[in-house]
Amino acid sequence: MNLYLTALLAYSLFLMALGIFMSRRVKSSADFLVAGRSLGPGRLFATFLAANIGAGSTVGATGLGYRMGMSAWWWVGSAAIGTAILSQFLGPRLWTIAKQHNLSTLPDFLEFRYGRSVKAVISVLFWFGALAILAAQLIAISWILNTIAAIPKWEGCLIGGVVAIVYCTAGGMMSSSFVNMFELAVTMSGLLLAVPFAIHTLGGWHNMETMIAAHSGGPTAAHSLFSIVGAGPRQILAWVAILVPSFMISPGLVQKVYGARDTRTVRIGVGLNSIGQAIFAFVPPVLGLCALAALPHLPNPELALPSAMKLLLPRWLGIWTLASIFSAELSATDAILFMLSTSLAVDLYKTFLKPDVTQRQMLFASRAASVAAGVVGILLATVLPSIIAAVSIFYGLIAVALFVPVVAGIYARGLLSLAALTSIFAAVAATLLTIHQTSGHGFGWLSPQAIGILTAAVVMLLFRAFHPQYATVREPAVILEIKRS
C-alpha cells in the first residue's frame, strides 16, 4: 500500500480511538454541547484555532496563493481580524448572557433577544449554509487522498466524513476539544516546517522569485504576486466584507465561546487564536508561491498544497505535512459537523418539536443529528466544484444574514422581532439582486455581501428611528448584567 496513504489511515484510526476514549467524560447534553462550560484558555485557544485552520485556510488559501500570491494573506488574515473583535467585545458579552440564561447555541441567543421566529429563520439559513462549508472540508480531504493515492473524489469525501462522524458523534465538544489539541500540534508543526524546507528545495527565496518571473511573464507580473496587496483593493475588500463579520458571529465559534470557563478565558483564549491566525495567514500564500515555482501548470490550483508537499519535501516531512493538512481538514470538519448537529437538535428539534426533551433524549438527538448531517455533507461534497466556492457560500450567508441582528442584539435596546426579520430578508435579497445584476462583482469597491450587510444596517436604523414601540421588559436587565460582567 502507498506509504502516504498508510500513514493517513493509521492517523485517522488514532483520532477516532481518541475521540471515543474521551467520550467517556460525556454525561449529559451540556457536556456534549458546551463541554460543561469548563474550557480553560489553553483548550479554548486550541479548539478555536484547530477549527479555524481548515480547508479554506490551508488547501483553499494555498490555491489562492498559487493564483494571487501573497495577497492571499487576507483570506485568513480577515478571519484573524474578526476573531480579535470577537475575543474582546462580542464574545465576553455573549458568554455572560449564555451563562445566565443557559443558552447553548447562537440561535438560542437570537430567540432570547428577538423571539422564536428569528431563531427559526436563522437556524434554517445557517443549516443549509453550513452544509456547504462541511462539504468544503471533505473536498479538501479528497484532494489530499487523490494526490497521494489517486483515490476518486467521492471515496475521499467518504473516508473523511466517516472519521469526523465517529469522533464528533462520540463526545461532541468535550471529545473534540481534546482531539483538537492533538490535531493542532500536528497541523502547526507540519505546515510551519514545510515553509523553510520548500524554499530551500527551490534554491532560496531569490531563486523562487526568478522561477516565478519566468512562468508569470516577467518581473512586473511577479512583483504583484509578491505584494500583500497585489490582488487589488476590490478583491481584498470583498474578502474582508465576507470574512471579518463571519468570524465575529459564526454560530460554531460562538458556541465554542459558550464552552469557556469565564469571560477572562474568552478574552485570552480567543485573543491568542486571532494572533495565531494572523501569523499562520502567511503560510498558505508562501506555499502557494512555492508550488507555482515548481509546478506552474497545475490543472487545479487547489491541488497546489498536497502536490508541493510530495514534490518539494523529504519523504519523512512530506508524510508529516500531509498528515498535518489532513489533521487541519478533520478538525474543521468536526467543528462544522458539531455546529450542524447542535443546530438541528437544539434550535429545531428541542425548540419546535419537543420542548420537554430530557437530557438523555437530547444527547441521543444530538448524536443522531451529527450522523445525519455528516451523510448529507458527504453527498454534497461529491457535487460541489471547489473548496473556495463552497466556503464562500457559507461565509457570505453568515455575514449577510447574522451580522447586524447579532451585533444589534448585544448593543442596542428594545429592537423588535420584526426589525430583525426584515433586516435579514432585506440583506439576503439585496445580496442576491446585486449578484444577479453585476454578475457577482458588486458596485465599485462594495461586494454583494458588503451591500447586503449595509442594507441590513439601514433597515435596523430605520426601524429604530421610525417605529414607536421600542421597549421590552427584560432588555434593561440584560444590559445591566452585561455591564457588570
Q: Domain-by-domain residue ranges, the chain? A: 3-383
Q: What is the pLDDT of residue 203?
A: 96
Q: What is the dihedral of CA 329, 167, 34, 350, to 10 degrees?
A: 110
The CA distance from 485 to 480, in Å, is: 9
Q: Which of 176, 24, 133, 117 is nearest to 373 (CA)?
A: 133
Question: Over 70: is that where the pLDDT of 468 sits?
Answer: no
Q: What is the pLDDT of residue 170?
A: 61
Q: What is the pLDDT of residue 371?
A: 86
**For 3-31, what is the mean pLDDT?**
71
- CATH code of 3-383, in short, is 1.20.1730.10
**Model confidence pLDDT, tens digit, residues 265-298:** 999 999 999 999 999 999 999 999 999 999 999 9
**For 164-174, what is the mean pLDDT?**
64
Banded model confidence at residue 473, pLDDT cuts 50, 70, 90: very low
Question: Over 90: is that where the pLDDT of 30 sits?
Answer: no
The CA distance from 115 to 22, in Å, is: 36
- Residue 28: how many other CB atoms lie within 10 Å: 12
* Percent of the chain clearing pLDDT 70 (strictly above): 88
Task: Give me the helix-helix angle, 153-201 and 3-22, nearest 10°.
Answer: 110
**Model confidence pLDDT, tens digit, residues 241-258:** 989 999 999 888 898 899
- What is the widest separation between alpha-carbon atoms in the chain? 71
Q: What is the pLDDT of residue 198?
A: 96
pTM for the full predicted model: 0.81
**For 213-241, what is the mean pLDDT?**
90
**For 307-316, what is the mean pLDDT?**
88
The CA distance from 342 to 363, in Å, is: 10
Average per-residue pLDDT in the chain?
Answer: 84
* Percent of the chain clearing pLDDT 90 (strictly above): 38
Q: What is the pLDDT of residue 97?
A: 93
Q: What is the pLDDT of residue 178?
A: 66
The CA distance from 171 to 367, in Å, is: 9
Banded model confidence at residue 485, pLDDT cuts 50, 70, 90: very low
Q: What is the pLDDT of residue 174?
A: 58
Question: Over 70: is that where the pLDDT of 435 sits?
Answer: yes
**For 383-410, what is the mean pLDDT?**
83
Question: Over 60: is that where the pLDDT of 476 sits?
Answer: no
Q: What is the pLDDT of residue 477?
A: 41
